[in-house]
Amino acid sequence: MIRLKNDKQIEGIRRSCKLLSAMYRELMPLVKPGVMTIDLDRWVRDWIKKAGGRPAFLGYGPRKNPYPAALCVSINNEVIHGIPGKRKIREGDLVSLDSGIDLEGFISDQAVTVEAGQAAAEIHALNAATRDCLYQGIAAAKAGDRLLQIGRAVSARAGNYGVVHQFCGHGVGLELHEDPQVPNYPHGPNPRMGAGMVIAIEPMVNLGTGDVEILEDDWTVVTADGKVSAHWEHTVAIFKDHTEILTDPLE
């Protein structure tokens, strides 16, 4: 069931989103060659706690295997849900960061992909195209139109890159994952978008095939062919006469 938000709820989600984007503005410059990914997660936990929020990702998921970090750090062929550890970022790595904040019960979600040092030209092009896919998807999110217009816009911009089908965007705001699912290609239920919908639009685009696999940790999603992937995400609110990006641009 799609949960439409009222103005007061959207304002609470907006405050959470602005806080998350403020965190990213300080976090992104820390993504450098030689930095361990676990150190980025520790920094995020500390920042969110000091800001008065709670990490929305930490402990999320099945009781037997909840997500163990506040930040997803997915490098190169890792698409999403990369678990921070002792791995060090290297020169030229493509590093996707995904996090959310629970601020007084209002939840934000945003992802960015950072090029560590000097990335190869084809990797830079993929990252730029994925960011463009996000904004094309947002432009298609309009009250009165059908949800799958978003996926059509994303996949059209992706061109010959591989769009991930197994994972998608989603409703957000009062819980981390809500209805509806927001696929990055036209597939599945196609409800009409309406005022009060708050959704996370998040293209995941690969340099090669769009097929993915899940590692033995049951979280980390990797490309099936080992080629690199990029991931960009905004939380947006749909109003009767406009759509607002609640998280801030960080590119």
Tell me the pLDDT band of 145, cut-offs 50, 70 and 90: very high
Q: How many CB atoms lie within 10 A of CB 9?
A: 18
pLDDT, average across residues 60-85: 97
Report the predicted TM-score, pTM, of the whole model to 2 decimal places.
0.97
Q: Which structure tokens are listed for 51?
A: 């800001």
* Whole-Å CA distances, 131 to 43, 104, 113, 125, 201: 25, 30, 9, 10, 11
Residue 251 has pLDDT above 80, yes or no: no
pLDDT, average across residues 52-80: 97
Buried b (16+ CB within 10 A) or exposed e, 37-71: bbebbebbbebbeeeebbbbbbebeeeeeebbbbb
Question: pLDDT value at position 133?
Answer: 98
- β-partners of residue 212 are 223
Q: Kindly list the structural domains of the chain, giving each domain's residue range(s) and its CATH number in brackets, ordered by start.
A: 7-245 (3.90.230.10)
Question: pLDDT value at position 208?
Answer: 98
pLDDT, average across residues 16-37: 98
In the numeric block, the tokens 């990490």 are attached to 55
Average pLDDT, the chain: 98
Residue 122 has pLDDT above 90, yes or no: yes
Q: How many CB atoms lie within 10 A of CB 167?
A: 18
pLDDT tens for residues 191-228?
999 999 999 999 999 999 999 999 999 999 999 999 99
User: What's the CA gap between 186 and 102, in Å, rounded?
Assistant: 30
